[in-house]
């Protein structure tokens, strides 16, 4: 019986990436990169996106904490 790879911990931590073929469709016919170069570019873009999302979420979390602090009554006397 074949195990469903979508339910493994690895699949949850590392969602499937778009294929090299799909990358080539997005890059267009004029793209002369090798498959290895396309994979490297794709992986770099996933890494960049991960960093950008992490920074965005951290910023939103800090803003939420700051907003909550401003709304809570002061405990100073």
* Mean pLDDT computed over 62-76: 80
Residue owning tokens 């602090």? 69
Task: Classify the phi-psi angles of 16: left when phi > 0, otherwise alpha if psi is within -120 to 50, otherwise beta.
Answer: beta
Quick count: other Cβ atoms within 10 Å of Cβ 31?
13
Distance CA 77, CA 70 (A): 17
- pLDDT tens-digit readout, 10-36: 665 777 899 999 999 999 999 999 999
What's the pLDDT at 1? 44
* pTM metric for this prediction: 0.66
Torsion angles phi and psi, residue 20, rounded to 5: -60, -40
- pLDDT tens-digit readout, 41-51: 999 999 999 99
Between 20 and 1, whose confidence is greater? 20
């Amino acid at each position: 019986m074949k195990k469903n790879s979508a339910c493994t911990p690895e699949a949850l931590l590392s969602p499937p990436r778009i294929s090299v073929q799909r990358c080539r469709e997005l890059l267009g016919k004029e793209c002369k990169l090798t498959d290895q170069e396309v994979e490297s570019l794709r992986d770099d873009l996933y890494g960049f996106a991960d960093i950008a999302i992490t920074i965005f979420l951290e910023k939103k979390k800090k803003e939420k904490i700051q907003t909550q602090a401003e709304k809570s009554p002061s405990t100073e006397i």
